Amino acid sequence: MKVVADLCIVPMGVGPSVSSYVKEIKTILEASHLNAEMHANGTNIEGELADICRLIELCEEKLSQLGVQRVFFTMAFSSRRDKEQSMADKLTAVS
């Protein structure tokens, strides 16, 4: 099932700045075949739900390798069954 996901990953207990961890996550996102667009508070990703979930697992595994003991995730998914719709399509519809 194709979805558009809004994902926010927050490493906990690593201090006030998480930018070094976000850079690591960004590398994983860029290496994937999924369309991912970072924004100020997270990332929008479009693709098959199973692929997005696997990508999130890879992000969590990387943070674990970096010594992060606790991670807070928020995820929201949207899907349409009546037609294909990309992130760009959704933005164009409200322009």
39/64 Cα distance (integer angstroms): 23
How confident is the model over 10-52, as pLDDT tens digits? 999 999 999 999 999 999 999 999 999 999 999 999 999 999 9
Asked whether residue 8 carries a pLDDT value surpassing 90, the answer given is yes
Q: How many domains does one find in the chain?
A: 1
Identify the pLDDT of residue 83.
Answer: 87
Token pair recorded at residue 38: 């970072």
Residue 66: how many CA atoms within 13 Å on its side-chain side?
20
Query: Which backbone phi and psi does 3 adopt, to 5 degrees?
Result: -140, 165
Identify the pLDDT of residue 74.
Answer: 97
Domain harbouring 20, CATH code: 3.30.70.930
41/15 Cα distance (integer angstroms): 17
Q: What is the DSSP string of 31-64?
A: HSSSEEEEETTEEEEEEEHHHHHHHHHHHHHHHH
How confident is the model over 49-90, as pLDDT tens digits? 999 999 999 999 999 999 999 999 999 999 988 988 888 888
Identify the pLDDT of residue 57.
Answer: 97
The boundaries of the domain holding residue 77 are 1-91
